[in-house]
């Protein structure tokens, strides 16, 4: 505790997990004593197989779930001390199914959080336009369309734009590119990478794609059965001789860059 | 005397009975939507209430309508006036399709949409009014349509307790073994039901969210 208190204000990590466990009501443990920090501006990828607890960890950050034990700190404050609505509006959130509102136009989808925050009408409109251009969509063409009129890749871009709308300092992404075909995924990944370099947000991405985690992550947190097996830089990850990482690297070598064949 | 002549001769009475009928059905629908939609929402929020609420509405549905009017007769405020009694009984019948469709409509909203809404910091109230209800509007309306058609039919029985409406002709015709009288009640009631069904289904299609 004292080490934390001694940090100068504003320099605390963006996100910190302290001995966090999460159990379902039935007692099944989805997350078991997990601790890590995410520094400001870095992109942490949580990598692991299905059921490893990646999504659970992500949802603990914006308090869609609450820890059974331990605490999650966002900007130095326990999520339980935050008002959940304020916390969530302060954090962008993108999920695999995207969850665009089918009855809203693209523009209305993107400007949801600004409208909830009562931004002025012209500022909201300008922001929506700016965001569309930022994710590479022509605002004049797409603003008034409905989600069902978009392709998968376009929907994904709108999802990212929506998450960035109120300029949150933290962005959470759950399998954000998972539903896209390999070519589109590569494209959207590269765009996102460029965007991320420009915006310098703190990003946490959940994925089961090894190559995606190596491309996008500044660090990779490997999760296994509710525990954090280790945190590596992409280079460390590739060079690691631990059996857990070795299995992933072997898989990657086998598929030689055309990862995502499953 | 042909049926047409009969209708023309009694057009004022028939019109009056039709207006009474529409009034009974109209008030019933306003009440049952005002009660049924919130109950339908409640069922999705508190699943343990689903059995008692839907079960209760189901039981009301199974009571023969004539008997239900009889059961409500001794109830203090309701039994005092025939139209109150009739509207109360009709509302009980209309509730089930509305509650059921409201809860089905809301449960049918894509879980990803709901999760995105929550994750972006919408309050429960905002999720309900800006996302869930708009997206289930056409399903709710389908329930209202079924309930309306049902109510128009059952409302003819309200004449048995003196609440007026098109049932007056039917009961009188039955007593007098006069087919023309029966048809003077039955034909307008059937036309009302068809008209309501048509109008509400047009509205329902218009409100259906795009996929």
- Inform me whether the C-beta atom of residue B125 falls under 8 Å from chain A C-beta atoms: no
Residue B143 has pLDDT above 90, yes or no: yes
Nearest-Cα residue of chain B relative to residue A83: B121
Portion 105-124 of B in contact with A at CB < 8 A: 110, 112-123
Distance from CA of A64 to the nearest CA of B (A): 7
For tokens 């025939």, name the residue. Answer: B82
Cβ distance of B131 and A101 shorter than 8 Å: yes
Task: Please tell me the predicted confidence (pLDDT) of residue A25.
Answer: 86
Q: Summarize the confidence of residues B45-50 as an average pLDDT.
A: 91
Task: Please tell me the predicted confidence (pLDDT) of residue A9.
Answer: 54
Q: Using a CB-CB distance cutoff of 8 angstroms, which residues of chain A are in contact with residue B206? A: none
Return the structure tokens found at A8. 């100068």
Sign (positive or negative) of CA dihedral B106, B107, B110, B115: positive
Contact by Cβ (8 Å): B170, B182 = yes
Cβ distance of B116 and A95 shorter than 8 Å: yes
Return the structure tokens found at A100. 């665009």
Return the structure tokens found at B159. 């004449």
Q: CA B45 to CA B42: how far, in whole Å?
A: 5
Give buried/exposed letters for A162-198 (b at 16+ CB in 10 A, else e).
bbbbbebbbbbbbbbbbbbeeebbbbbbebbeebbee
In angstroms, what CA-CA distances link A199 with A38, B21, B44, B105, B201?
A: 17, 65, 40, 40, 49
Cβ distance of A99 and B122 shorter than 8 Å: no
Contacts of residues B28-31 at CB distance under 8 Å and 24 or more positions apart, as own/partner, are: B28/B87, B28/B90, B28/B91, B28/B94, B28/B151, B28/B155, B29/B94, B29/B144, B29/B147, B29/B148, B29/B151, B31/B87, B31/B91
Q: Summarize the confidence of residues B160-167 as an average pLDDT.
A: 88
Please state which of the ranges A164-168, B30-34, B70-74, B97-101 shows the lowest mean pLDDT: B70-74
Distance from CA of B99 to the nearest CA of A (A): 23
Q: At what angle do helices B179-207 and B133-154 cross, to 10 degrees?
A: 180
Task: Please tell me the predicted confidence (pLDDT) of residue A1.
Answer: 43
pLDDT classification of B209: cutoffs 50, 70, 90 = low
Give phi and psi for B110, each to the nearest 5: -45, 125
Task: Please tell me the predicted confidence (pLDDT) of residue B78.
Answer: 80
The C-alpha angle A65, A128, B125, rounded to 5 degrees, equals 40
Q: Summarize the confidence of residues B137-153 as an average pLDDT.
A: 95
Mark out the alpha helices in B127-209 (DSSP H runs). 133-154, 167-176, 179-207
CA-CA-CA-CA torsion for A240, A245, A247, A249, nearest 10 degrees?
A: -60
Task: Please tell me the predicted confidence (pLDDT) of residue A2.
Answer: 43
Give the 3-state secondary structure of A64-96.
CCCCCEEEEEECCEECCCCCHHHHHHCEEEEEC
Give the contacts of B84 (CB within 8 A, at least 6 positions apart): B77, B78
Q: CA B43 to CA B33: how far, in whole Å?
A: 15
Task: Please tell me the predicted confidence (pLDDT) of residue A262.
Answer: 40
Distance from CA of A259 to the nearest CA of B (A): 26
- Inform me whether the C-beta atom of residue B177 falls under 8 Å from chain A C-beta atoms: no
Q: CA B169 to CA B181: how far, in whole Å?
A: 5
More confident residue, B41 or B7: B41
Q: Quick count: other Cβ atoms within 10 Å of Cβ A223? A: 24
Distance from CA of B109 to the nearest CA of A (A): 10
Q: Using a CB-CB distance cutoff of 8 angstroms, which residues of chain A are in contact with residue B124? A: none
In angstroms, what CA-CA distances link A10 with A62, A71, B32?
A: 20, 19, 56
The burial class, CB within 10 Å (0-12 / 13-18 / 19+), for A239 is exposed
End-to-end CA distance of chain A: 44
For the entire predicted model, the pTM comes to 0.84
Residue B148 has pLDDT above 50, yes or no: yes
Task: Please tell me the predicted confidence (pLDDT) of residue B175.
Answer: 93
Residue A74 forms beta bridges with which residues? A15, A77
Which residues of chain A are at the B interface, by a Cβ-Cβ cutoff of 8 Å? 62, 64, 84-90, 93, 95, 97-103, 112-113, 116, 146, 148, 162-163, 172
In angstroms, what CA-CA distances link A195 with A136, A190, A216?
A: 10, 9, 11
Residue B166 has pLDDT above 90, yes or no: yes
Task: Please tell me the predicted confidence (pLDDT) of residue A8.
Answer: 54
pLDDT string in tens for chain A (262-residue length): 444 445 555 567 899 999 999 999 888 889 999 999 999 999 999 998 888 899 999 999 999 999 999 999 999 999 999 999 999 999 999 998 888 999 999 999 999 999 999 999 999 999 999 999 888 899 999 999 999 999 988 998 999 999 999 899 999 999 888 778 888 888 888 888 888 888 889 999 999 888 888 888 999 999 988 999 889 998 888 888 888 788 888 877 776 554 444 4
Task: Please tell me the predicted confidence (pLDDT) of residue B26.
Answer: 96
In angstroms, what CA-CA distances link B19 with B4, B15, B16, B65, B88?
A: 20, 6, 5, 22, 19
Give the contacts of A178 (CB within 8 A, at least 6 positions apart): A96, A207, A209
Contact by Cβ (8 Å): B207, B138 = yes
Contact by Cβ (8 Å): B158, B164 = yes
Give phi and psi for B106, each to the nearest 5: -70, -40
Residue B191 has pLDDT above 60, yes or no: yes
């Amino acid at each position: 505790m004292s080490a934390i208190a001694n940090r100068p204000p504003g320099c605390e990590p963006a996100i910190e997990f302290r001995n966090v466990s999460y159990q379902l009501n039935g007692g099944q443990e989805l997350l078991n004593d997990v601790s890590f920090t995410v520094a400001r501006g870095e992109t942490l990828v949580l990598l692991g197989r299905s059921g490893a607890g990646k999504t659970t960890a992500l949802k603990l950050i914006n308090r869609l779930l609450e820890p059974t034990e331990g605490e999650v700190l966002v900007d130095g404050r326990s999520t339980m001390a935050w008002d959940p609505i304020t916390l969530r509006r302060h954090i962008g959130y993108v999920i695999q199914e995207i969850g665009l509102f089918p009855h809203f136009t693209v523009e209305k989808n993107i400007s949801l959080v600004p409208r909830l925050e009562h931004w002025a009408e012209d500022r909201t409109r300008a922001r929506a336009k700016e965001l569309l251009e930022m994710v590479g969509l022509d605002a004049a063409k797409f603003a008034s369309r409905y989600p069902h009129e978009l392709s998968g890749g376009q929907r994904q871009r709108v999802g990212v734009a929506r998450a960035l709308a109120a300029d949150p300092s933290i962005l959470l992404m759950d399998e954000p590119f998972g539903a896209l075909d390999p070519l589109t995924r590569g494209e959207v990944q590269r765009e996102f990478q460029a965007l991320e370099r420009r915006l310098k947000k703190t990003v946490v991405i959940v994925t089961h794609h090894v190559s995606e985690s190596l491309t996008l992550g500044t660090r990779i947190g490997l999760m296994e059965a509710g525990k954090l097996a280790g945190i590596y830089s992409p280079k460390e990850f590739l060079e690691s001789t631990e059996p857990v990482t070795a299995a992933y690297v072997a898989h990657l070598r086998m598929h030689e860059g055309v990862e995502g064949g499953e | 005397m042909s049926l047409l002549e009969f209708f023309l001769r009694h057009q004022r009475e028939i019109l009056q009975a039709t207006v009474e009928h529409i009034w009974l059905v109209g008030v019933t629908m306003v009440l049952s939507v005002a009660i049924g939609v919130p109950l339908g929402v409640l069922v999705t929020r508190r699943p343990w209430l689903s059995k008692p609420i839907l079960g209760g509405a189901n039981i009301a549905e199974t009571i023969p309508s004539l008997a239900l009017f009889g059961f409500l007769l001794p109830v203090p405020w309701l039994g005092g006036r025939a139209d109150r009694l009739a509207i109360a009984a009709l509302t009980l019948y209309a509730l089930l399709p509305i509650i059921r469709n409201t809860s089905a409509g809301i449960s049918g909203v894509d879980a990803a949409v709901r999760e995105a809404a929550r994750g972006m910091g919408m309050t429960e109230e905002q999720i309900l009014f800006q996302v869930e209800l708009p997206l289930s509007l056409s399903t709710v309306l389908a329930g209202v349509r079924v309930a309306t058609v049902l109510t128009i039919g059952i409302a003819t029985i309200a004449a048995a307790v003196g609440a007026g409406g098109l049932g007056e002709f039917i009961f009188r015709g039955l007593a007098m073994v006069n087919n023309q009288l029966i048809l003077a009640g039955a034909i307008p009631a059937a036309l009302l039901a068809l008209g309501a069904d048509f109008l509400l289904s047009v509205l329902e299609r218009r409100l259906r969210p795009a996929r």
